[in-house]
């Protein structure tokens, strides 16, 4: 068996025992405060190391540390650091026989369970197990591993093991990343919950931390403040009227009925119904274009350790007033342990104005930008930069704005239940992607075409066959760039580029005319 001083112990042998649970429960009783999962793990690692150190120290006290240079007598107790500090008794000796080592003695040592093993002793030649020689074995001083190094390497699995056992303990209860004893919590009654609702109502729904709520709630004033907060948090979390909208480690309560409907029910414009396709069919060029677009529903890993990221705004997000959580900006936004919604502060870099944003990680969007887009007439296809600030819950929105000027852009024009496109001069005041920009003026008409498309459950290929000829009228060879097609399809159906590009390559309906340009094949199959 490995000791707590070895990597194997923490990586594969670590299991929570009854003794461990009793120790953790004693901590709650002693400290009278909830502890985070990280704190519990660190305390338990420290406990295990101390326990193991005490055991090994007792082992060392039982005998002499084995070193090959020393001589040993029958009946002598010897401790072997190289064998996880196992101790044994010398039961026999004999002369060694190896010309390379000169005269030496072989000792026969009996360990627990009558297991016996022989060792060379009284060696005159250098040996790695001699303590005072370079590169030698662990010395008489016990090796003390770093709690931080153990947590850095194995902390996640240790925490998982602890929590897996705590959930089965009747008296253990949790909120967020904290644990405590249910039997030590003050009772939060209906009256307290009604008061919390009233306080939040007065504050426009919130958000407010639990310590602010407790100022107006007479809850067990003799109880330590951390326990009062934990008890109130746990009660609010079990009441549908309240929503914790804070980032991980920052409890912020909000009245659910006063939250925007869009953060509780994902806007239909943003709903993506997955289409099965084979990503392997994409050419290198189209795969690179997919990466460039960086749709939030493309299967790209989140880019971590970034301080800023840029998105190109597509029609669904511009229409609803949301920001897509693409792989390049996802890591900029805070996460939560359990709450599906996080309220953040968005800052307009142009003016310094601040406004609320609602992060919905599961459906990959941030809600609350409609007025921001409207203020600047922000174009579909516009470049928007998101930047981190010193406060994880405060994000900066920046774009390259300029004095509005008239430029030719594509305009989506609804006609007879379909979308057509034309080039018109329109005033633009922000930098944009020329291949992605599509203007809309008849919003109600576009909404009606989208609704008809949705109600009739029109397939992706059918939509593409309608849009490509219309877009092709604006370009030579009646062809459309794959990125422009992606932008147009998303006016009628939420779709990442992967399925669109795969359809271009695998369906006879479409013809490649060079580069990233495509058109509908005359007489192609449906």
Residue pLDDT, tens place only, 16-38 = 999 999 999 999 999 999 999 99
Does one domain contain both 16 and 159?
yes
Does one domain contain both 310 and 446?
no
| Long-range residue pairs from 190-198, CB within 8 A, at least 24 positions apart, any chain | 192/217, 192/219, 192/232, 192/235, 193/235, 193/236, 193/239, 193/241, 196/232, 196/236, 196/242, 196/253, 197/241, 197/242, 197/255
Q: Within a domain: residue 494?
A: yes
Could you identify the residue written with the tokens 């969007």? Answer: 365
pLDDT of 465 reads: 95
Query: Which of 402, 429, 445 finishes a domain?
Result: 402
Residue 430 phi/psi, 5° resolution? -150, 150
Strand partners, 412: 421, 440
Nearest residue to 340 via CA among 213, 237, 196:
237
The pair of structure tokens assigned to 507 is 């369906």
Q: Within a domain: residue 379?
A: yes
Q: Within a domain: residue 44?
A: yes
Cα–Cα distances (Å) from 89 to 94, 115, 138, 173, in that order, read 15, 11, 20, 49
Q: Which residues contact 1 (CB under 8 A, 6 or more apart)?
A: 13, 84
Q: Rounded to the nearest 10 degrees, what angle do helices 37-61 and 147-166 cross at?
A: 110
pLDDT of 252 reads: 95
Does one domain contain both 390 and 513?
no
**Contact (Cβ atoms closer than 8 angstroms) between residue 382 and residue 372:** no
Q: Within a domain: residue 269?
A: no
The whole-angstrom separation of Cα 14 and Cα 44 is 11
Does one domain contain both 153 and 53?
yes
Does one domain contain both 361 and 429?
no
SS3 268: helix
- Whether this prediction's pTM lies above 0.85 is answered by no
pLDDT of 3 reads: 57
Q: Which residues contact 399 (CB under 8 A, 6 or more apart)?
A: 349, 350, 376, 378, 382, 383, 384, 385, 430, 431
Does one domain contain both 154 and 69?
no
Q: Within a domain: residue 130?
A: no
Could you identify the residue written with the tokens 């079990």? Answer: 238
Does one domain contain both 394 and 422?
no
Four-point Cα dihedral 227, 232, 235, 241, nearest 10? -160
**394-398/342-348 β-pairing:** parallel
Strand partners, 294: none
Could you identify the residue written with the tokens 């007065």? Answer: 202
Does one domain contain both 28 and 161?
yes
Query: Which of 371, 402, 433 finishes a domain?
Result: 402
Nearest residue to 288 via CA among 7, 497, 28:
497
pLDDT of 81 reads: 77
Q: Within a domain: residue 422?
A: yes
Query: Which of 402, 421, 456 finishes a domain?
Result: 402
| Burial environment of residue 112 by CB neighbours within 10 A (0 to 12, 13 to 18, 19 or more) | exposed
The pair of structure tokens assigned to 112 is 């627990």
Burial 166-180 (b: 16+ CB within 10 A, else e): beeeeebbbbbbbbb
Does one domain contain both 313 and 372?
yes
Does one domain contain both 340 and 388?
yes
Burial 242-257 (b: 16+ CB within 10 A, else e): bbbbbbeebbbbbbbe
The whole-angstrom separation of Cα 273 and Cα 390 is 37
The whole-angstrom separation of Cα 335 and Cα 73 is 64
Nearest residue to 385 via CA among 401, 402, 409:
401
Q: Which domain holds residue 108?
A: 62-121
The number of domains in the chain is 5
Q: Within a domain: residue 27?
A: yes
Eight-state DSSP code of residue 313: -
**Residue 86 belongs to a domain with what CATH number?**
2.30.30
Cα angle for residues 365, 306, 380 (degrees, 5° grid): 40
Does one domain contain both 56 and 164?
yes
Q: Which residues contact 236 (CB under 8 A, 6 or more apart)?
A: 193, 196, 210, 242, 244, 253
82 preceded by a cis bond (ω within 30 of 0)? no
SS3 88: strand
Q: Within a domain: residue 136?
A: no
The pair of structure tokens assigned to 219 is 């809850």
Does one domain contain both 201 and 234?
yes
| Long-range residue pairs from 508-515, CB within 8 A, at least 24 positions apart, any chain | 509/461, 509/464, 509/465, 510/464, 510/468, 513/477, 513/479, 515/285
The parts of the chain modelled with pLDDT lower than 70 are: 1-7, 56, 59-62, 132-144, 524-526
Nearest residue to 400 via CA among 419, 415, 380, 378:
378
CB atoms within 10 A of CB 500: 26
Cα angle for residues 394, 396, 399 (degrees, 5° grid): 165
Cα–Cα distances (Å) from 154 to 7, 41, 113, in that order, read 9, 10, 32
């Amino acid at each position: 068996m490995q000791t707590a001083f070895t990597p194997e112990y923490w990586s594969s042998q670590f299991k929570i025992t009854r003794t461990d649970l009793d120790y953790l429960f004693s901590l709650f009783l002693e400290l009278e405060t909830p502890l985070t999962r990280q704190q519990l793990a660190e305390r338990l690692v420290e406990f295990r190391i101390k326990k193991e150190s005490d055991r090994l120290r007792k082992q060392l006290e039982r005998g002499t540390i084995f070193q090959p240079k020393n001589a040993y007598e029958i009946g002598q107790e010897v401790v072997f650091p190289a064998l996880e500090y196992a101790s044994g008794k010398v039961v026999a000796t004999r002369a060694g026989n190896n010309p390379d080592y000169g005269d030496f003695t072989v000792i026969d040592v009996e360990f627990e369970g009558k297991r016996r093993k022989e060792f060379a002793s009284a060696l005159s030649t250098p040996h790695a197990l001699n303590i005072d020689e370079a590169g030698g074995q662990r010395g008489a001083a016990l090796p003390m591993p770093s709690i931080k190094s153990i947590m850095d390497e194995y902390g996640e699995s240790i925490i998982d093991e602890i929590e897996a056992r705590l959930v089965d303990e009747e008296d253990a209860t949790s909120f967020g990343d904290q644990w405590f004893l249910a039997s030590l919590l003050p009772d939060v009654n209906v009256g307290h919950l009604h008061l919390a609702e009233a306080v939040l109502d007065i504050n426009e729904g919130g958000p407010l931390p639990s310590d602010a709520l407790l100022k107006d709630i007479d809850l067990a004033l003799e109880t330590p403040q951390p326990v009062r907060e934990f008890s109130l948090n746990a009660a609010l979390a079990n009441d549908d009227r309240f929503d914790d909208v804070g980032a991980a480690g920052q409890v912020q309560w909000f009245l659910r009925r006063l939250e925007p409907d869009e953060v509780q029910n994902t806007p239909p414009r943003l709903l993506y119904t997955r289409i099965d396709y084979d990503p392997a069919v994409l050419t290198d060029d189209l795969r690179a274009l997919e990466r460039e677009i960086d749709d939030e529903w493309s299967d790209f890993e989140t880019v971590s350790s970034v301080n800023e990221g840029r998105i190109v705004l597509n029609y669904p997000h511009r229409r609803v007033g949301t920001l897509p959580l693409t792989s390049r900006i996802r890591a900029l936004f805070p996460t939560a342990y359990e709450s599906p919604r996080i309220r953040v502060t968005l800052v307009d870099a142009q003016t310094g104005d601040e406004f609320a944003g609602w992060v919905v990680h599961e459906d990959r969007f941030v809600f609350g930008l409609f007025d921001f887009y409207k203020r600047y007439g922000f174009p579909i296809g516009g470049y928007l930069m998101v930047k981190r600030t010193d406060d994880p819950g405060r994000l900066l929105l920046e774009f390259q704005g300029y004095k509005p000027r008239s430029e030719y852009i594509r305009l989506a024009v609804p006609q007879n239940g379909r979308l057509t496109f034309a080039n018109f001069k329109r005033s633009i005041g922000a930098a944009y992607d020329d291949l992605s920009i599509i203007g809309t003026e008849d919003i109600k008409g576009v909404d009606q075409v989208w609704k008809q498309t949705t109600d009739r459950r029109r397939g992706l290929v059918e939509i593409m066959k309608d849009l490509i000829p219309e877009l092709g009228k604006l370009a030579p060879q009646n062809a459309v760039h794959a990125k422009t097609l992606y932008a147009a399809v998303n006016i009628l159906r939420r779709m990442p580029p992967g399925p669109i590009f795969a359809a271009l390559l695998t369906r006879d309906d479409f013809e490649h005319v060079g580069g990233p340009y495509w058109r509908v094949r005359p007489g192609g199959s449906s």
